[in-house]
Amino acid sequence: MSSESDRQLSMEELRRRNTQRPATETQHPTAEEWLELTAALTTLGELLAEQMLLLEQIAAQPKSWETQEQTAELIREAKVIRSLLEQAGRKREQRFSLPTIRLPRLSVEWLLLPTVLVGLLALWYGWAALWNGLTTLFP
């Protein structure tokens, strides 16, 4: 019951609000305003026509950037692109090549290696001589 009374109240309230709205008056421009509006529209039309003529003149002018060198350069670039496209479309030929062996590059560290090995060999030889000398002293 309470929901129906709420609906009735809201409907009654809506009716009351709708009846209280004042009617909006439409205002029409005066003759002077019509003259001003038509004058503004005609000037805009004239400006638009002038701009269209200027655009047609600009479009009809020859382009200064199309020089002989630039066109030649464009032709060369097009030939390069065409050759690349032709190569991309072909299957690659089957080739056989041996695996490449990469040798190490010589550096200061590589020169130190033989020096260290020679030093170790001398140390080994010295220890061997010392051992042989000691073994002859103590049978």
Mean pLDDT estimate for the chain: 81
Which pTM was predicted? 0.30
Q: What is the pLDDT of residue 64?
A: 63
At 39-88, the pLDDT tens digits run 988 988 888 888 888 888 888 877 665 677 888 888 888 888 888 777 76
Residue 107 has what DSSP assignment?
-
In DSSP notation, 60-95 reads HSPPTT--HHHHHHHHHHHHHHHHHHHHHHSPPPP-
Amino acid at 5: S
Q: What is the pLDDT of residue 90?
A: 66
Q: What is the pLDDT of residue 74?
A: 84
Q: What is the pLDDT of residue 129?
A: 92
Residue 31 has what DSSP assignment?
H
